């Protein structure tokens, strides 16, 4: 696979029957962009901004953040998207100087958007930095851990306030900036019908979605079998998100680990997923394997998966299809 995968690096993502698949990269900082482009990324589907905070001993100020986002946006240019996820601390990503440690259940605590909506000044600083950087490339903004409409509206409100502050200072930014959310909390799936009309895109975060659907800590090896996206319950949730988003005409992608798992990609493609964001190391193989996907088999594959009752059975079924 390796050598052939290497050859397909520069080719665009598509299946064996020519269905276009967008293949984007997950990055943790602005300096990775050239490297991910070399590996064949068509843009960035997830910029995890928390690393910018974790690498420092104090909160990066607006200018520092602006410089980092601008550098990444310019490296990608006007055509390739840079999806910036707002600060997603808490859970397994503690930042000592932000004082959110000490919770009994950090994964169920003040993390992601919950923290940011509490710390409005810190959040607005980041929003202003992102908006300012949007004048230099094709930036999209993504909110993590959204569970309900109230959080989404509050985030939009702060984004509007940040934009009004920039207007007052005559600072430029992209007025058509696309806004979306991570779908990684089961409540967001239940609320999806109401959320979809409000956003430009959704991105499925399978790492958190799996742990929250199965009530199994993603960092606890003892329950890793439960916290798996091969669990039929998790797969059903994912299928629903893809279907609902596509039916409403809302852009949908996946940026959790599942996105780079080429065993499961025929199923995701069969369900209608066309946009995948992954650690860049997975891109060449993903593009190579995508060309082996053929739509004549979609009905059989999704039918066979619908009948599976365990992760092992799901895996076996996917392997059987891959080998035949």
The residue ranges that bind Mg ion (CB under 5 A) are: 184, 205, 208
Upper half-sphere CA count for residue 185 (Cβ side, 13 Å): 20
Q: Nearer Cβ to Mg ion, position 30 or 208?
A: 208
Cα–Cα distance, 227 to 202 (Å, whole number): 22
How far apart are CB 254 and ligand PEP at their closest, in Å?
Answer: 8
Looking at the DSSP assignment, which residues form a beta bridge with residue 27? 47
How near is the Cβ of 182 to Mg ion at its closest, in Å?
6
Three-state secondary structure call for residue 81? strand
Residue 41 three-state SS: coil
**Cα–Cα distance, 241 to 202 (Å, whole number):** 9
Distance CA 199, CA 180 (A): 5
The CA distance from 246 to 223, in Å, is: 32
* Residue 47 · residue 84 · CB < 8 Å: yes
Cβ at position 63, least distance to ligand PEP in Å: 25
CB of 310 to ligand PEP, least distance (A): 22
Residue 15 or 86: the one with the smaller Cβ distance to ligand PEP is 86
- Interacting residues of 59 by C-beta distance below 8 A, sequence separation 6+: 53, 97, 98, 122, 125
Q: In this complex, which beta carbon is closest to Mg ion, that of residue 53 or of residue 66? A: 53
Out of ligand PEP, Mg ion, none, which partner does residue 180 contact, by CB within 5 to 8 A per kind?
none
Indicate which of ligand PEP, Mg ion, none lies near residue 48 (CB less than 5 to 8 Å, by partner kind): ligand PEP
Whole-Å CA distances, 43 to 199, 203, 281: 20, 14, 14
CB of 144 to Mg ion, least distance (A): 6
User: What is the spatial distance between Cα 180 and Cα 200, in angstroms, rounded to a whole number?
Assistant: 6
Token pair 């390796």 is at which residue?
A: 2
Q: Which residues pair with 181 in a beta bridge?
A: 143, 202
Smallest distance from the beta carbon of 258 to Mg ion, in angstroms?
12
255 binds, among Mg ion, ligand PEP, none (CB under 5 to 8 A by kind): ligand PEP
Nearer to Mg ion, 142 or 289 (CB): 142
DSSP state of 107: G
CA-nearest of 208, 201, 3, 4 to 92 is 208
Name which of 36 and 301 has its Cβ closer to ligand PEP: 36
Please list every residue from 246 through 265 that binds ligand PEP, using CB under 6 A.
Answer: 255-256
What number of chain residues touch ligand PEP (CB under 6 A)?
10
Residue 280 binds: one of Mg ion, ligand PEP, none (C-beta under 5 to 8 A by kind)? none
Name the residue nearer to ligand PEP (CB basis): 73 or 181.
181
267 binds, options ligand PEP, Mg ion, none, Cβ within 5 to 8 A by partner type: none
Residue with tokens 């598509």: 14
What CA–CA distance (Å, rounded) separates 210 from 202? 16
- Choose among ligand PEP, Mg ion, none what residue 206 binds, the Cβ cut-off being 5 to 8 Å by kind: ligand PEP
Between 13 and 205, name the residue whose CB sits nearer to Mg ion.
205
C-beta closer to ligand PEP: residue 75 or 234 = 234
Minimal distance, residue 25 CB to ligand PEP, in Å: 12
Q: Which of 24, 39, 44, 48 binds ligand PEP (CB under 6 A)?
A: 48
- Judged by CB under 6 A, the chain residues 171 through 230 that form the site for ligand PEP are 184, 205-208
Q: Which H or E run contains 23?
A: strand 22-27
- List contacts with ligand PEP (CB under 6 A): 46, 48, 88, 184, 205-208, 255-256
């Amino acid at each position: 696979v390796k050598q052939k995968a290497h050859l397909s690096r520069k080719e665009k993502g598509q299946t064996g029957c020519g269905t276009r698949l967008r293949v984007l990269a997950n990055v943790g900082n602005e300096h990775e962009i050239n490297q991910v482009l070399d590996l064949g990324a068509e843009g960035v589907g997830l910029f995890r901004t928390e690393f910018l905070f974790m690498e420092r001993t104090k909160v990066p100020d607006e200018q520092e953040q602006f410089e980092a986002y601008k550098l990444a946006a310019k490296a990608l240019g006007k055509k390739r998207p840079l999806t910036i996820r707002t600060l997603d601390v808490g859970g397994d990503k503690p930042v000592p100087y932000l004082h959110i440690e000490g919770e009994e259940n950090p994964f169920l605590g003040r993390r992601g958007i919950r923290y940011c909506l509490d710390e409005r000044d810190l959040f607005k600083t980041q929003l202003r930095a992102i908006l300012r950087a949007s004048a230099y490339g094709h930036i999209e903004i993504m909110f993590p851990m959204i569970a309900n409409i109230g959080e989404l509206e509050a985030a939009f409100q702060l984004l509007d306030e940040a934009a009004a502050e920039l207007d007052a200072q005559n600072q430029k930014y992209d007025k058509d900036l696309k806004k979306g959310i991570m779908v990684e909390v089961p409540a967001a799936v239940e609320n999806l019908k109401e959320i979809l009309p409000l956003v430009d895109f959704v991105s499925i975060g399978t790492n958190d979605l799996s742990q929250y659907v199965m009530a199994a800590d993603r960092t606890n090896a003892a329950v890793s079998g439960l916290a798996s996206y091969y669990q039929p319950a998790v797969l059903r949730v994912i299928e629903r998100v893809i279907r609902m988003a596509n039916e409403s005409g809302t852009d949908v992608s996946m940026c959790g680990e599942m996105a780079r798992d080429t065993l499961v990609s025929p199923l995701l493609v069969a369900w209608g997923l066309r946009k995948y964001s992954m650690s860049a190391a997975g891109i060449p193989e993903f593009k190579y394997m995508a060309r082996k996907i053929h739509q004549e088999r979609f009905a059989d594959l999704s039918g066979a998966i619908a009948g599976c009752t365990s992760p092992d059975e799901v895996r076996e079924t996917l392997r059987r299809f891959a080998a035949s």
